[in-house]
Structure 1
């Protein structure tokens, strides 16, 4: 029997005392057969997924559907510095799930068309097959992320050319209580002719995204770090568990040395801070 998570309505987030409470939108969760948790043996590549841009607290977001381009959500570069009133909230009270990280529906492929079989006969046989044999739905555990423009004017957010929907990585506290990245950001350098534009987030509206939910034996505090036009924003702090090996950067540094010459330490720093450079 498939497991179903019911729709929920969430409310944000007076963690900082006098901050104004913000009503969050409705998230629609869908059924699944198998839920996979992220438990990597090394620092992981960040892969934030966008589900909605310029949505309001009255919107409904289906978390199984990826974000798609809509008119009027991109900004010009002359707004690039006006992004100082963003709030980021991660809801860790209940995770959702997505098939957007390479874990797709799996199952036996449909049968091929037989010799001397008409198209009508084949279509009927495919319909019978689809009714009797259903693919197994495998999803990956993720956390919902809300980026809110609390100012009275529109704001711009840096959009990667390639490598993800946002410059967003996860950090965790190590055994010494220090904040360290447990993800890195892979990003191609800017290429001429891509038609690249950045996100335009309207006043009092949200970007809804998702990030990987990790599991492991080390319980600690986590937060998200957003980099936009060189300005850094942090989310609320939330409880979680990870693998301690996610703090290690030795293998990533070796990988960088294998690809590039020059200041590999600087390239490592760039990847760990989620900056707009490869």
Structure 2
């Protein structure tokens, strides 16, 4: 009898695991149709950069989604960015899905819903890929954001096989910048990420911080320049904050805390 119970228990555990794995496998990635022209070059840099986290879409999953300046209704979107308080039931049951098979573009200067404002120089487009953030529960989940952008950076493995950041986060000084984005059951959020290119081929992943937890995407192949691992190559005014190598400050901008 004891042996039979153990066999039944093992079957139940395997069945539950299979259902969980199957749910991810069966999830069909939407086709994202970009209204920007396809870029002919990658994003190449030797600096650790503030990320491009251009939000494109929030809502129910569809087979295909056309991205235009109207695909994200700002009037409906921003009221979701309400003040965070302790009574909000915040969850982190989400999945980050990277799709390198679809080619999108980012306007390097405007981040880029067309038509762009008149400019003396033509737009600078770089290759990008869609990122899907999926609510895998039957409840509404809440994802922390700052001024409408998710706390999301990109990491890569260095030559020693260690995960290191190649992007960093800039925090807002205004307390009203911090709120959350709500995803209903089976809703998705779509954003673009720039495709890096360099001389060092390695594994990469996305790192999202929300609700005091960290969620990673599955690793994917990519390339970058080795200098992007060096904090001394951090661009912008944030570099001044590294003058004293304050470990707490470094942890914050790298979304460790």
TM-score range normalised by the length of the shorter chain: 0.7 to 0.9
Q: Is the 8 A contact 1:28 1:60 kept in 2?
A: yes
The match for 2:30 is: 25
Greater helix proportion: 2
The structure with more radius of gyration: 1
Which of the residues 258, 267, 270 maps onto 2:240?
A: 258
Q: Secondary structure at the match of 1:208?
A: strand
1:86 and 2:94 equivalent?
yes
Which of the residues 49, 52, 57 maps onto 2:54?
A: 49
Q: Is the 8 A contact 1:184 1:274 kept in 2?
A: no
Whole-angstrom CA distance in 1 between matches of 2:236 and 2:145: 28
1:142 and 2:128 equivalent?
yes
Whole-angstrom CA distance in 1 between matches of 2:243 and 2:226: 29
Q: Secondary structure at the match of 1:268?
A: helix
Label 1:177 to 1:253 Cα distance change in 2 as closer, same or farther (>3 A).
same
The match for 1:199 is: 181
Whole-angstrom CA distance in 2 between matches of 1:73 and 1:50: 14
Which of the residues 147, 152, 156 maps onto 2:142?
A: 156
Whole-angstrom CA distance in 2 between matches of 1:61 and 1:208: 11
Whole-angstrom CA distance in 2 between matches of 1:99 and 1:66: 17
Whole-angstrom CA distance in 1 between matches of 2:247 and 2:240: 13
The match for 1:11 is: none
Label 1:77 to 1:156 Cα distance change in 2 as closer, same or farther (>3 A).
farther
Q: Is the 8 A contact 2:92 2:143 kept in 1?
A: no
The two structures have a TM-score, normalised by structure 2, of 0.76
Label 1:95 to 1:253 Cα distance change in 2 as closer, same or farther (>3 A).
closer
Gaps of 5+ in 2: 1-17
Gaps of 5+ in 1: 1-13, 110-134
Q: Is the 8 A contact 1:106 1:138 kept in 2?
A: no
Which of the residues 162, 165, 176 maps onto 2:149?
A: 165
The match for 2:169 is: 185
Shift of 1:35: 3.3
Q: What value does the CA root-mean-square deviation take over the aligned residues?
A: 3.3
Which stretch has the larger CA shift, 81-90 or 179-188?
Answer: 81-90
Shift of 1:259: 4.9
Residues 99-154 of structure 1: CA distance to partner in whole angstroms, max 9, x if unpaired? 26437769886xxxxxxxxxxxxxxxxxxxxxxxxx85541211110000010000
The match for 1:6 is: none
Residues 83-111 of structure 1: CA distance to partner in whole angstroms, max 9, x if unpaired? 231000011123310226437769886xx
Shift of 1:33: 7.6
Corresponding residue pairs, total: 232
The match for 2:225 is: 243
Q: Is the 8 A contact 1:171 1:223 kept in 2?
A: yes
Q: Secondary structure at the match of 1:269?
A: helix
The match for 1:230 is: 212
Whole-angstrom CA distance in 2 between matches of 1:99 and 1:274: 29
The two structures have a TM-score, normalised by structure 1, of 0.71
